[in-house]
Amino acid sequence: MATLQQIDVHGIRLYANHGCMQEEAVIGSHYEVNISVWANLSVSVQTDELKDTVDYVALYEITKEEMAKRAKLLEVVCQRIIDRIMNEHSSVQRAYVNVAKLNPPINGDVERVALTFTAER
């Protein structure tokens, strides 16, 4: 098996309207998304070409587009992001997606709630 290298895109901060409550659909919330992918980057190390690696700008764009689609559950959002990463980037062998809702509407002092999904080929 080839050695895999890790690419991280952490601290993606977005505003979105996810949640089960109607107020969340209207008012929205702040979110933070963290992504890690593992791929064999040996070709890109040799060629120094963007086409031979996993473009972190593309990972950001996937996240931004999927976060803009309303869902009641963060599970749905995580799954959509990880599915697109795996479907659109065939060199990715493993992916990790963490989506956190900051200051969730919970009757208490909670900084964030988060879900983490992983996928492997």
Confidence tier at 1 by pLDDT (50, 70, 90): low
Q: The domain that contains 27 carries what CATH number? A: 3.30.1130.10
Residues 6+ apart with CB under 8 A from 65: none
37: closest CA among 13, 62, 65, 67? 62
Q: How far is CA 49 from CA 36, 44, 52, 54, 111, in A?
A: 20, 6, 6, 10, 40
For residue range 31-44, list pLDDT tens digits in order: 999 999 999 999 99
The residues pairing with 37 across neighbouring beta strands, listed in sequence order, are 7, 95
In total, how many domains does the chain have?
A: 1
Opening angle at CA 93, ends 121 and 59, nearest 5: 120
71 half-sphere exposure, CB direction, 13 A CA radius: 16
Closest of 18, 26, 92 to residue 55, by C-alpha: 92
Structural domain of 107: 5-120
Q: What is the pLDDT of residues 2-61, one digit of tens each?
A: 799 999 999 999 999 998 888 878 888 999 999 999 999 999 999 999 999 999 999 999
